[in-house]
Structure formats: C-alpha cells, structure tokens
Amino acid sequence: MKFLIVLVACVALVVADQLPLTAEQRAKLREGGKECIEKEGITKEQAQALRGGNFDNVDGKVKCFASCFLEKANLVVDGQINTDEIQTKLSPLVGADRVKEIQAKCDSIKGTDNCDTAFQLYQCYYKNNAEL
C-alpha cells in the first residue's frame, strides 16, 4: 500500500497519469519511483502531503525524493531544469503557451542544493497549475 501511495505522488510529479504513456514508459516511471522511494526513505504521510500540494513541514528526504524522481524522469538534469523535456511532456496537456508561462515563472528557481531546487521547482509548477 505504501508503494502505491508513493507511486501516485511520483506520477503527480511528472503528470504521467495524464500523459499517453506506453506500458514500457509507465513501468520505467514506476521503477524510477520505487528506486527513489527506497533511496530517500520517505513516509506515506510525506508522499500524501506532496501529492496533495501540502508543502508545509517538508524535510530533506522529500526534497531529495523530488530531485531523484525528476532526474529519473529527465525533467531535471544535474540539478538544472530540462526545458525541452518539460515542453514535450506538458504541452499536450495544457498547450505550449501555458507551459511557457509557467516556465517563465518557475524555471529560474535555484534552491540551496539540487534537492531543494527540484522541490521548489515542483512546488512552483504545482502552484501555477494544480491540475498538472
């Protein structure tokens, strides 16, 4: 059950639940999420909070989980946002212009380290378009 709840959080991080993904792509995302869950050791409550947009009381594990998963999804590379991949994955959902608006607000965010940056990017994208 814990894996399923955290997997849902993973999917929310990359909007994979709304994208037309192949079975192979979904399996790769699940595996990446599982690896990041095990690596960072986040709890069920932390995953539910992240999925639901509750960004209060987030610890370093959750931030590093976000970084790990976004890296595995190729949305962040070496702590830097992958703008082309963001456009590719989100444009079919909300349109290229809307994605560019969100990118203009979010993509320059820099945290104290790669984990913090990834978490802040996720938070910004979430707050600027919660349905993503």
Cβ atoms of 81 and 75 within 8 Å: the answer is yes
Both structure tokens of 18: 């709304």
Q: What is the pTM of this model?
A: 0.76
> Average pLDDT for consecutive 10-residue bins of the chain (132 residues)?
35 49 78 86 77 86 91 89 90 88 93 94 85 48
pLDDT of residue 61: 94
Local structure of residue 112 (DSSP, 8 states):
S
78-81: Cβ within 8 A, 24+ apart = 78/114, 79/113, 79/114, 79/117, 79/118, 81/106, 81/107, 81/121
Q: Spell out the residues 6+ positions from residue 19 whose beta carbon is closer than 8 angstroms to its own.
A: 89, 92, 93
pLDDT of residue 76: 92
Q: Which secondary-structure segment (H or E) carries 23?
A: helix 23-40
Answer left, alpha or beta for residue 41, where phi above 0 means left and psi between -120 and 50 means alpha: left
pLDDT of residue 20: 60
